[in-house]
Amino acid sequence: MHKFLEKIKSSEQKPYVIKNFISLDEVKLFQKLYNELPVEINNRRQKIIKKKWSVDFDLNLQKIYLDKLRLNLDNFKMDNPKTKDGKDSLGLFQESFMPVSLHVDSGFDFSKVIFKQTLLPLSDMGETVIFKNRFYGCATTFSISPEELKANGYNKRSSEHIDLYGGKSFDENTHKNYLNHEDINNLKGLEVDLIYKWKLGDLLIFDRTSLHCASSNLINKKLGLTSLTIKL
């Protein structure tokens, strides 16, 4: 459990979207950067390619990105896992061919004051579902499938969420329209806060304590950049 719970909770907010965070020309710069970066992880099981934005790549775009983030977020520091070469990173590009399942990106260091995470859409189509429910343990993928619970990955695997949020059945329509890649029983007690339809140029900001997942409406593939922050 995170140590500075009160501090973490005091900066919690509803998820929100910054319209026109970057221009469409800048979107192209991010897409170009993605193509140039080395692959960090190619997970064939989850059909996802991950590339970390090492501080060695594109200083000019780093300045653009950080300046714009600072205009929109108060007193934060980046908190992205380092690259496999041990370099600091500005975020994680994820190209996914399958919807990512329910999880939280709360990190593994309970002495940090985890703050916001951002999602910069870099493909036209995509949808992300943010839940009202919060989690104050480590970064976890939530599942009730014995197979998934046995799987290895960066996140811890757990079904502890089922006992945390009251166990009310999840709304069937929302499940059918947005979350049919999830077992509806894995969503017990969850309440949707925001279904964000990706738009190029936008930035989605939400708390690192928020449970979230991709929507099942994934056509072919999507590409986005996520950054994790802590509060200064």
Residues that bind Fe ion in the complex, under the rule CB under 5 A: 105
Residue 23: CB minimum distance to Fe ion, A: 25
Taking the least distance from each CB to Fe ion, the nearer of 212 and 231 is 212
Burial 123-147 (b: 16+ CB within 10 A, else e): beebbbbbbebbbbbbbbbbbbeee
Q: Hey, what amino acid is at 205?
A: I
Residue 208: CB minimum distance to Fe ion, A: 9
Taking the least distance from each CB to Fe ion, the nearer of 58 and 212 is 212
Which has the closest alpha carbon to 218: 123, 109, 149, 87?
Answer: 123
Residue 81: CB minimum distance to Fe ion, A: 13
Residue 33: CB minimum distance to Fe ion, A: 20
User: Which residue in the shown chain puts its C-beta closest to Fe ion?
Assistant: 105
Taking the least distance from each CB to Fe ion, the nearer of 58 and 105 is 105
Taking the least distance from each CB to Fe ion, the nearer of 21 and 135 is 135
Residue 35: CB minimum distance to Fe ion, A: 22
Q: Are 63 and 71 contacting, i.e. CB atoms less than 8 angstroms apart?
A: no
Q: Are 155 and 140 contacting, i.e. CB atoms less than 8 angstroms apart?
A: yes
Taking the least distance from each CB to Fe ion, the nearer of 32 and 154 is 154
Three-state DSSP class for residue 116: strand
149: number of Cβ within 10 Å: 13
